[in-house]
Structure formats: structure tokens, C-alpha cells
Amino acid sequence: MRREFRLPDVGEGLTEAEIVRWHVQPGDEVKVNQIVVEIETAKSIVELPIPWAGVVAGLLAGEGETVDVGLPIIAVDTGAPDTGAPAAAEERPALAEDLVPNPPAEGAVEPGTHGSPAPKEERQAVLVGYGVKTGATKRRPRKSSAGPATPVANPERVEVAGSPALPSTGPAGGTTAEPGAAGLSRVSVLAKPPVRKLAKDLGVDLAGLTGTGPQGSITREDVHAAAGAEQAPQAIQAAQQPEERIPVKGVRKMTAQAMVGSAFTAPHVTEFLQVDVTETMEAVKRLRALPDFAEVKVSPLLLVAKAVLTAARRHPVINSAWDEAAQEIVVKHYVNLGIAAATPRGLVVPNIKSAHLLSLPDLATQLGQLAETARAGRTQPAEMAGGTITITNVGVFGVDTGTPILNPGEAAILAFGQVRDMPWVVDGELAVRKVTTLALSFDHRIVDGELGSLFLRDVGAMLEDPLRVLAWS
């Protein structure tokens, strides 16, 4: 029985997503809840599991293609796989909640974070973007239609969707035309996995090559020769092309819409404060030497985050949201601390849930995990939902300061600039000190100049003298 898996709505109101990478190819065996594809939504990269066991009959959307929610993206033959072995008895249909996770309630703790139980090992259900990947896929034995021939070590057949059908040439030609899913013709290419990866890295289409290896298989030399032939025209074309157009989609599209909405909805005010952070930098060195921080990264951002959390408790209205429909200011007595992160796919702002409850070592751990996940492009929609106040660390780019735009739904965002040596007056004498510039943007409907100034002053004071964090905690 052939079944088609349709693109689900993995986020509230999702209408489309881009196919980033397939983890399977036609002919692969798949298990229930096995990750088969990565997609990019308007917010992040999400891994999708397949809800059935069987054999992949066809990929109905190519990598880089944008697909509307509800359209089929992969076809699976759910009959007994052609391996001579019975289907696994323990496999079961995937549950709906295994496919699409709901974002956590505001202030809730994410699954798998401090204190929450780990999933049971025997349960194979995988939440989208949260679960572990299964093992490598298995392929059915390739059937030869030409009788005995010289064996090829570990050859693999790659089916390319949408390519023009080629006449069957048998083993000598290395390609055969096969009917594809949904009326698409597919060309089967004989190549080893390392050769396939090389071709992908060099941007070479295997379907257009004639293999010179055994049984017509494509070799590394074939790929390099094709790449060399293509590079010269491409270089000439690039030199003659004065402009480049980059499609606005995925995370970048969502960020652009959110920033425009924020900039033209909330009246922004930005204040600046230059701070002597010599004592903070010294405190960072001392924390790094403590056993409690041996397994985590300690950076100045950790103490900035702690200062923001402490100042938000002293000035609760800074941690608020504007409810236009109800004409109310919603003061939140918990802090989901957002940390703006630049990724290859655009700006994302994941947040640390209930950051106000964390000890300093736990906060350091959460900051490290957040940064690692963002750099890997694995930040999930639920991890970006429900933020209450944000820090953007522009100092890592060598920038002194800026005027940050509010994350939608929040009342304040703090920019932390680079720390550098500067002349500073200390006790009436000139000295060289570690200095940074803080910039606080806030929604002037909620935060007036006095409140914004008091909050920024307190953050600066705690960075000048970290002992104030203890005094005000």
C-alpha cells in the first residue's frame, strides 16, 4: 500500500516551508517516527519524522523547494519491505502529538531542561525537532537486469526527481529510466556515497554525467572533470553579473516582517550608558577558576544576563507586554530571557525559560546550550516563543553600541557593546580601564524615561561592581 506524507503545520499558522535536506532516498527502509527530512519554517529548522514503516517510494519535493502546508512531500510503500525479513512487530502508528509539538505555556519549563524527566528509551516516538535521530537507513538489494557483471564495491543508486527520462542503457551506460512518483520521471545514477557527497559539495548534477567506472559508475575523476568544465563559465558569468538577488524566505522573511511590525507599532526610545566593567571582567576570570563552572563557558554576557534579571525584579514593569485588544499592560512576574543570535539563516531570538529562577552556574549552562543550538541551526519555534525581555550582544562583532529594535511582544531590549581599554577617571586620576557601552531600547507606551533610566542605571551599576548583584538579590 502506497501512502503519501503531507507537510504538517509544525508551528502556529504555518503556511509553507522549505525542504532543506532529505535524510532518505527512494528505496530506503524507514521505521515509525524515523527522521526523514529537515525543513525550514518561518522560524527555524525542524526535523520531521515519518508516521509509518515501509520503503520510500519517492520524494515528491526537492531540496530547496518551498512547499505549501498540506501538500505531499514523500511517498512510502507501507507493505512488507522486499528484504525477505518480516516487518518489526513492535512498530506502531505515530501519535499526532509525536509529530507536532505545542509551544509551552508562558513561564513553563521546556522538556529536558533542569528537573524534567528524560524520555523513556524504549519509546521511539520523536517530537519534531526535539527527539534523537535513529540509526542509518537500510537499502534494499539492487536488482541487476544484465546478468553477471564485474562487482562494484558498495555502489549506490541515486534517483533524481524531475530529470528527463533517459533510454535504458544497462550496466554499461550506468543509468536507467524509471517511473517516478506523481508522474515524474526519475533517472537512476550509479555512484558511491563519497562520490555523491563530492558532487553535492561541488554543485555537480550526477544525472548529467556518464560514468567511466565499473558498470558505468561515476567516479571522483568524473565529478572533478565536470566541476572543472563548469567553473570557468560560472566565473565569467559572476564577473559580468553586477547584482545578486537573494530570495527572502524562511527565518529571514519572518525576521523582516517582525522587525517592520515592531518598529512601526511600538514607539521606540533608546538610551545609552558607558560603563567601567573592569571589576566584571575580573569577576569573570575568578568564576572560570571555580569548580562550579568547570564544565561551562563563563563570559561577560553571563554577568550582564544576571544584572538584567536582577534589575527586572527591581523594576517589574520593564518586563511587560502591551495588550492592544484589551488596552492593558501585562506585567510578567517571570523572565523568559531572550538572547539574540546570528545564524547562517538569519537572526533568531531563543529564550531561556524561567531564567529568574536559575542559579548562576545553571544560567551559564543554559546560555551555552542556547548558543550551541543556535549556531547549529537547530533552534525550534517553542524555544523562541514567550520571550519577555532580550539581550543582544553586539560586542562580539567588535561594535560599541547600536539602537536595537524590540522583539515583538516585549517592552525592552538591551544591547551589550564590546569591552575595550579606554582612558577613565578613577578617584580623580586618569587610568586605563575596561569599558563598554550599554544601549536600552524600550516601548515608550509602557516604559517612560524615568523607568528606562533607572533600569539602565541599575544594570550599569551591577556591572561596575558585581557585589551589588548580591546586595540586590
Average pLDDT over residues 391-417: 95
Sheet architecture: strand order including 28-30: 2-6, 72-77, 54-59, 28-30, 138-139
What are the distances in angstroms from CA 89 to CA 52, 92, 137?
13, 8, 18
Give the residue among 266, 456, 254 at the shortest CA–CA distance from 347: 254
CATH fold of the domain at 251-472: Chloramphenicol Acetyltransferase (3.30.559)
Please determine, for residue 5, whether its predicted confidence score (pLDDT) is greater than 90. yes
Lowest mean pLDDT among 155-164, 245-254, 390-399, 400-409: 155-164
Q: Does domain 1-138 have CATH number 3.30.465.10?
A: no
Position 392 scores a pLDDT of 96
155's CB contacts (< 8 A; 6+ apart) are: 142, 190, 191, 192, 215, 217
At 374, is the pLDDT very low, low, confident or very high (cuts 50, 70, 90)?
confident
How many residues in the chain?
473
For residue 131, give the C-alpha cell: 527527539
Compute φ and ψ for 79, nearest 5 degrees.
Answer: -70, 180
Least confident interval from 146-160, 209-223, 272-286, 326-340: 146-160
Q: How confident is the model at residue 233 (pLDDT cuts 50, 70, 90)?
A: low
Structure confidence by residue, pLDDT tens digits, 133-191:
344 444 444 444 444 444 444 444 444 443 334 333 443 344 444 444 444 444 567 88
Alpha-helical runs (H) found in 38-148: 96-99
CA–CA distance, 349 with 390 (Å, rounded to integer): 8
Q: Which amino acid is at 218?
A: I
Q: How confident is the model at residue 92 (pLDDT cuts 50, 70, 90)?
A: very low
Run of H or E including 370: helix 360-375
Catalytic residues, by residue number, are: 444
Each domain of the chain, given as residue ranges in start order, spans 1-138, 142-242, 251-472
pTM over 0.75: no
Nearest to 350 by CA among 305, 391, 399, 308: 391
Other beta carbons within 10 angstroms of residue 5's beta carbon come to 19
Residue 193 CA: distances (Å) to CA of 74, 158, 198, 209: 22, 9, 9, 16
